[in-house]
Structures are given as C-alpha cells and as structure tokens.
Structure 1
C-alpha cells in the first residue's frame, strides 16, 4: 500500500498502489476459485485476519475528498459472510495494517501524515500515536514480530513532491510494542523502500527497493544491513518496478512483485540467486506465500486480476478476476481461505472538489478465494 497525490508520473503511479484425490496429496494442484465478493469498505487498502476475534480488519480510506471522507475507518468484517460487524473510528486515515494477535494490538500507517496509530482491539479504540518528531514520513508497509513484540515499518524515501527539495532517505522504523515508542530508525537501507518481509526465526528482515531494483537484508539483532542483491526487476525509463516481498522461511526463498514489468521473481533468500521469473499481469502489487496450500498469490492492479501460482512448479494455476483494482492479501489459517481487497475506479485527479465519486460495482470490495 502507498499513495501519492500530486504530479503523478508512471513511477509515482506505481507507488500508489503479490482431480480431488490429487488435491489431497498436493494442495497446489487444486483449482483456486472465488467463493464470494462483497462490497464492504470505501477505498479499501490493506487487510488482516484476527483469529482471536475471528474477524477481518480492512483499512478504508473512504470516499470523497474532504477532511473526513465518507466511510473512513477500519472496517471489521465476518470472515465467512463478509458482513460488516462495525467500523473502528480512526484519528488518521489508515493505509497499511499490521497486527499482533498475542497482544491484540493493531497498527495502521498513514502515508500522508507520517503517523502510526495503535489500536487496542479489546476495546476498539486508538491508544497511541507514533511519529518521528513532526516529520511527515511516507509510511508504507507494517510487519509485526509477535515473539519480540516489535513492529517494523518502511518509509519510502527516494522522492519528493517538491522538485526543488532533496529527496529524503528511506527508512525502516523499529517500534517497541510494549511502550508504543519509536525505538530505532534504520536509515537508508535502500533508495526507495516499499515492501517488507520478516523471517523471525533467521533474524532477517527483507526490504525491496522500488527505484534501484534490489533487496536489502537487515539483521534484526544488530539492526544493520548485512547484504544487498538484485531483485530481478527491470530498470525502466519510467523508474520503479520492485514493490512487495514475501518470504518462505523453510524453503529459503523470497517472492518479489514488479509493477512495471508485471512479474513475480523467486530468489534464494541467502544468496539472492534468481530462481524464476513468472509473468502475472500488469501492475503486480501484493504477494502472499501460502505454505499449507503450496501456492503464491499476486494481485495485479492494472490487469484487474489475482494470480495463483503453484509454489513448487511455478505454474500459474488461475487468473481470477476479483475486482477493479486488486490491492492486498490476507490468509485465514483456520479456514484455509485467502482474502483480497479490491479498490474502485476513481475520479481523475483534476476533477472538481465537489464531484461525486464513481460508483464502481467491482470496487470497494473484498473477495474470498478458496485455494
């Protein structure tokens, strides 16, 4: 998830944005299908699953362009029916989401204000705000290490809306979940930090660089970059490509999406060796590796599809038309279901401030996929 509002080049547009018997022995051979799609949230971004409350949480920016867009909040949804249970009020619009299911804390990132909001899911209220002074860092991905109660957040860096200003460095924030404080900042791990994935067992954090097409490897103990290697993306004339990343800890692999080239690359996590490049669709964005199903899921915003890939053979199993602009992914381990948020078509950026939002029947929705 990320959002830019002004002077959108192709780079910044890329920023705005992974037989029944046979199936029993090899889950990846099953044919993935869309079980249901329901319109549940205005301008949905990221989604997380909470097994404790047995609910889905969706970050909804809301419709309209006022200070408080209609429907803004964190929408709480039933994981089987997709019925809206209630909406949690937010002091800042939520884009990225991360959850600690042990402490029942939800963390939302705001790409415009540079703030992380902490929610207590037991009470459904915001309990803390975390910011680097008064800086409006372009926050993006949120990843939680439940065992250490540590939250990691990328700040994009590498660009500025002011052509006369020097672009800020990218960063990875390290937040102490016990005190809700910004404990450390890892400065300039890459040029333009977008995606983030954690292998907690190995003590490694992986950061994708949208501008320079590389992956940085951070040691979570020393909080230093220990390695960098190519992501397998393309350096195009329009700029960035590599966007999001997920990790297969047991298999020693990374999965990286590339928006401009519309591909997923598979890398060795230890060496960065390129194992496979898989075309998925235009605007490849979110990626999620589902180990029990032996499948990889990729949302393709511009292609309006979600790609399902066999994680062993790298065969494309399905191209599912989930919605107008498939955005983010979540997995419910209890039910074995995958969830996709679908953003709607929107007004042009030069539209009048009082223009009515487009009513897109294929947007503002969540889809359930059965692997």
Structure 2
C-alpha cells in the first residue's frame, strides 16, 4: 500500500463500530461551555500557556495562499478575547507546541517543510528547516527537561529532534516505511512515541531519546492510529483511532492493550488530552461534533459535549481542569458547521 493511499484511508475511511457495554447512563452535566471565539482564519491546533494564562492558536488563512501573511492568534485564557497576533509571514501555520520553561512557541509549517521557534516575550523568530527535501510534518511536542523538540514527519519516515537552545535540527529518529502521525514524549522514561499508520497493526513506535534508536513497537490493531496522550504516573498510553472509532489504552511497560473504549458509530476521534488530577480523558470526536469525556479508571464515557463544529485539538489547564478546543470549519463534503473556525473554553464544574 503506497503512502498516498494510506493518507486517504487515514483521513476518510471510518469503520463503524457501535458502542456496546462501554457507555454508562449520562449523569447530570458537570461541564459547561464558558466561551466561544471565532477567528479570522482556518483553525487547526492550539496550546494553553499556564505562565501568562493565554491561548495560542495556529491556522492559515483560507485558501492556503502561500503569498498571504499568516498569524498566530493570542487569546485571553479567561474570556477568549483576541489580545494579540504574531505574524509568521508567508509560512502557513498548522501545528503548535509550547516550552513553558523557556516561553517559546514552536509552530509547524507543513507546506514549507519547516518549523518556527517564537520567543513569546520578544516575538523573535527562528525558522528551522527540515533536513529532508520532501518532509510532511504533523505533530510537535516538547521535552522541557532536555529542551528538545520532536516533530513527526510522514513524508520522510522519521521524527525530527530539534535543539531548543540553538534552534537547529540535530538528528532524525528514523524507521523505514513508517507513516508517522501522532507524537508524544515521556521525559522521565526517555521515550518518544510515534503512531504509525502504515498497516493494520496500528503500531506505536518507541524511540529512546538518549540514543535515538527505536527500542520497540507496540501494536494497537486499529488501522491508522492518530494522536497520543500519556498517563505518566501509571505509564499508560491513550491513542485515538479515527478509523475504528475508539481510544486504545496501552500499557507502557509491556505494550499490551489494556482496553479499547468504543465511542460509537462515525465519531472519528482525533485530539486527546489527559487530566491527571481528575483521571479523565478528553477526546475530540471530529465527525460527531463533540468532545467526549472518559473515566480513566473505568474506561467508560461519562459525558459528551456538543461543539457544533469539527473539534480537532484539545489543550488542558492542568491546574483548573479547563480545556480549550479548536473547531475546524467544514466536513469531508465541505458542509458548513455552525461553530467552524472557533476556539471553545469548556469548564469542569467541580462538585
């Protein structure tokens, strides 16, 4: 199977799996949509900054015009009003990550095969190009303990390692024939995880950050695994399976599948976040236009929050339990949605 076919299937093929025995009766709502903010661009990824209580949102202007000026929008974490914008010039922004220690944003420019490092205070920017000619990057994550940035590249089957001190591409963690999409880093165990959509095994590739070598591969047995969230305390991996409509829970010690949380027919989960304090998993269910909340102890869906948009990325304020969600504009057939190109703030109402 070639990579073009793989990408098509990963993006569009949705295998309908009905949730049987996985969902409890929904309790009284414990969540509220506090604010919704429309943005003047396509909305892709976002990240919450706990240091200045701001939300940074990446997404290019409509039409993906490579000659237009593009911006990262800064929103107030309280009411989501737009407080600033950071020009990234003609580099179209898609992915975004934050080093909270250094207060540096990292922005992925998929169409330019590069990422930008942006100092939040000074707005100084450094463009970091790929080490390969035909990179196709997707996710960015930061290891704050080592000041390294990792970038998944499915154009060249690898994960970039970038030095946050010098803002230079150091090396690539490679695995031939992989189709690397999702990404996360476990600093304390010196691991980088990448989801591989190459075949029906649904591999999670495990790289050692110290050596750069691939140590092992975990199989999820759901085609085209997407994003990864981590439970660092219990060493669990939560993996969104957009084609099989489930969240796969994997034991990080053994690689064994602990559970598969089926979300229902045509849900297509993409973005994930894990709330360690409350032991909750948040998942952005694109096709269902909802955020689902899963109890990480029982693996039951305990709540569904309609977004009336196509949710993509979730960023969590670990201190308050508040989540911030991006909603994309159009479905697979181009149908408009009410809350397209918006950011939502959803509060957890503590009992």
Category of TM-score, reference length = shorter chain: 0.7 to 0.9
Q: Are 1:152 and 2:182 counterparts?
A: no
Tell me, yes or no, if structure 1 residue 47 matches structure 2 residue 46: yes
Shift in alpha-carbon separation, 1:343–1:14, aligned structure 2, 3 A: farther
Following the alignment from structure 2 to structure 1, what is the Cα–Cα distance between the partners of residues 144 and 6?
A: 39
**2:172 corresponding residue in structure 1:** 185
Measured in 2, the distance between the counterparts of 1:36 and 1:171 equals 38
User: Secondary structure at 1:289's aligned position in 2?
Assistant: strand
Q: 1:196 to 1:347 in 2, by over 3 A?
A: closer
Checking the alignment, whether the CA contact within 8 Å between 2:308 and 2:337 is kept in structure 1 is no
d(CA) in 2 for partners of 1:190, 1:370 = 42
Taking the TM superposition and a 5 Å limit, the aligned residue runs for 1:27-66 are 31-66=30-65
What TM-score, normalized by structure 2, do the two folds share?
Answer: 0.86
Alpha carbons 1:230, 1:272 under 8 Å: kept: yes
Q: SS where residue 189 of structure 2 aligns?
A: coil
Larger CA deviation: 192-201 vs 340-349 = 340-349
Work out whether 1:345 is the aligned partner of 2:344: no
Q: Does 1:366 align with 2:349?
A: no
For residue 242 of structure 2, what is the aligned residue in structure 1? 259
Partner of 1:238: none
Residue ranges of structure 1 left out of the alignment (5+ in a row): 16-27, 158-168, 235-240, 350-357
Deviation of 1:125 (Å): 3.6
Secondary structure of residue in 2 paired with 1:285? strand
**In structure 2, what is the Cα distance between the partners aligned to 1:29 and 1:211?**
41
User: Which residue of 2 is the match for residue 84 of structure 1?
Assistant: 82
The reply to whether residue 223 of structure 1 matches residue 212 of structure 2 is yes
Tell me: CA distance 1:6–1:88, structure 2 relative to 1, closer, same or farther (3 Å). Answer: farther
Structure 2: where are the runs of 5+ without partners? 15-26
1:200 pairs with 2:187: yes
Task: Look up the match of 2:71.
Answer: 73
SS in 1 for 2:340: coil
Summarize deviations over 1:204-259 as a string: whole Å, max 9, x none: 1111112231111111111111111202414xxxxxx2111111111111000111
Cα distance 1:152–1:308, how it changes in 2: closer, same or farther (>3 A)?
same
CA contact (8 A) 1:210 1:242 kept: yes
Match of 1:268 in 2: 251
Q: How many positions carry a matched residue from both structures? A: 329
Q: Is the 8 A contact 1:32 1:308 kept in 2?
A: no
Structure 2 CA distance for aligned equivalents of residues 6 and 84 of structure 1: 39
